A and B are shown apart, each in its own frame.
Chain A
């Protein structure tokens, strides 16, 4: 089956630093990737939709200057949390849409971010 990887799986950083999270589709091309954030005991929330070669579409309430998304190729999307603060600590997960596969999303394993 289709595989999506995320790197890193876990990151701890100091407040004020920026953190980049990579999402890769390993064996298929993904023109569309999605970034989600999960708050403790709450649902996954869609942050943004990333389309290869164009600007990401952000959901209402998500700061695009805070969460920079780049989808430079058909297999890679990156999420950069700029000037991270403790309230950005969360579980971030990406998914990739495999075209021609019933529009199924394939999820990465997630990245746990802890900002001290």
Chain B
């Protein structure tokens, strides 16, 4: 069983603050690392697919970095807004065929107005 961990499990930030959280995954057999944003009662939304060591991706105020050698990815949110409140889920893909995708437990973010 692959170990994909996310930290912290939950956090509260004030509106306007920037924040970041971590996804840790095995450093071997890496194919891709996915980040999803999941609001309660809605479908998870794909944010990033990261494949290369050193990758940095950005979508609006959200960005992510990838270190495959040490097995971690950071997700950053700049200037958090209440609408950013959601669970952020990472998924480690070791085969490229989705047969071996392992999800983390998620980081639940609450942005306080």
Contacts and interface: CB of A to CB of B under 8 A. Distances in A.
A67 interface: no
Contact of A97 (B42, B89, B98): B98
B101 A46 contact: yes
Interface in B22-65: 34, 36, 38, 41-44, 46, 49
Interface residues on B, range: 10 to 19
Interface in A83-110: 97, 102-110
A49 interface: yes
B43 A49 contact: no
B98 A32 contact: yes
B41 A109 contact: yes
Contacts of A42: 105
A92 to B, nearest CB: 13
Contacts of B21: none
Of B44, B89, B99, the most chain A CB neighbours within 10 A belong to B44
Given A43-B103, A43-B104, A43-B105, A34 B98 contact: yes
Interface of B: 4, 34, 36, 38, 41-44, 46, 49, 89, 98-99, 101-105
